[in-house]
Amino acid sequence: MDVISKKQALSGSIRVPGSKSHTIRALILATFAEGRSVIHNPLPSEDCLSTAAAVPLIGAEIDLNLTTEGECGSSWVVEGAGSHIHLPDDVVNVGNSGSLLYFMAPVAATLDGWSVFTGDESIRKRPVDHVADVIRQMGGEAFISQPGSKCCPLLVRGPVTRSGKIVTEGSVSSQYITGLMLAALRMKGAMEIELTNPKETPYLTMTQKWLETVGAKVTISPDFHHITVLPPAEFKGFERTIPSDWETVAFPLIAALISDSEIIIENIDGSGTQGDDAVVEILQSLGADISWNKNDETLTVRGGKKARNGIGRLSTENLPQKELHVAMSGFPDAICALAVIACFTEGTVVLEDAAVCRRKETDRISVLKKELEELGADVEEGEDYLIIHGHSPLLADGSANPAFTLHGGVCESYGDHRIAMSMACLGLGLGGSEEIIVHNAECCAVSFPRFFEEMNKIGAHFKEA
């Protein structure tokens, strides 16, 4: 599906779906539990549905409370496998979900026999050699099926029953570290994990809080170099409500700020378990008109002429050296949204410490540079950074800025949901009759099902090409 996006003003309220990261953790822990778990407000995205299809392979039973139209219900029920968890009945096809792959592979090492993991074309290009290494350190066996490859299919053999000490590179991904922490729940003794150069650390805190809710004792050093997990003897099923997804909040947020819009984003998570909530303070430092009511769990966002100063101009002029520097390692999935809004900001924005962004669904640093430059942006790329020399559409007095040169064009999504959503949002801030066409935009369903329909309810007027 190709989608057309052009200048629009947004208004009204939008409710962002539940967190993918929380939903996948909840499903796996519910599978480990003895008895029934109820998960409210789960995200029915492709990645989460891949997880819902995978955990029955190791013994869980899941009721998605489907409607007569086949849509998922707002609460999912999981009958946990508990002590009866077994080797997967089939190959585990994770679809497009790196989280599922990296979470489940270490868990598979605690099961007796061979497990096979594969996924879609994108997953089969993502490295798993680091996962294989930690599984071997656990005492299991792990092999990559393709000679000379570092990617899936991945074969894992257990069982590993006793925890020990594991040393691994923390900058590659936090996801397989979460996988180790989950696997520790099924092993005897305390697992000790030593990380060199840890990144994406808010996700490790998220995992810690989930494990603590089921009775595990988890300690993480202030610098995240040392993690210890001591499992409970067993734990019962639970009832939890999934908070909203900050990784998804970023898209209506930037869409409103680059257009003459006023919207309210509902169901905002104020728990502090998602690192992406840092985008609010980052954007406010540029002059963004954003109000966060934590009691009502809402963000009110005003952009352009709807901003309280009547201009809504974003600029780095009040920052040190008149540049915005953002270390992306704690919330790398925000790079797409921040790169887009940087193109509408007067001044230089440096998105740094971002090497992990090259190992997502696409090499997001390279892809963003290519796509944004083709739309008229001034972008520099480095091994672990992206620099955008942006311009506001408006001068400080509110008049048109002749230096603003962004224009329409055709964008590729590369099958990456965050690239697709960010490029669609970019079109809403263009001038005149300029428009963006985003190819293969249906990939948004990976993290935000019905993204275009929900955005259209507040005036985006996205159309299928």
Residue linked to tokens 């190819």:
439
Residues 160 and 141: their CA atoms lie apart, in Å, by 9
Annotated catalytic residue 133? no
Decide: residue 188, CB within 10 A, 0-12 exposed, 13-18 middle, 19+ buried. Answer: exposed
Q: Using CA of residue 293, residue 298, residue 304, residue 305, what is the dihedral sign?
A: negative
Residues 426 and 406: their CA atoms lie apart, in Å, by 10
Looking only at the bridges linking them, the beta strands covering 409-412 and 435-439 are: parallel
Residues 276, 277, 289, 333: which is the catalytic one? 333
Write the DSSP string, 201-264.
HHHHHHHHHHHHHTT-EEEE-TTSSEEEEE--S--B--EEEPPB-HHHHHHHHHHHHTTT-EEE
Residue linked to tokens 């007095």:
397
Residues 386 and 370: their CA atoms lie apart, in Å, by 11
Asked if residue 428 lies in contact with residue 5, where contact means CB atoms within 8 angstroms, the answer is: yes
Helix-helix angle 335-342:246-257, to 10 degrees: 10
> How many CB atoms within 10 Å of residue 171?
18
Give the full edge-to-edge strand order of the sheet including 262-266: 11-15, 262-266, 298-302, 289-293
Catalytic residue annotation: 333
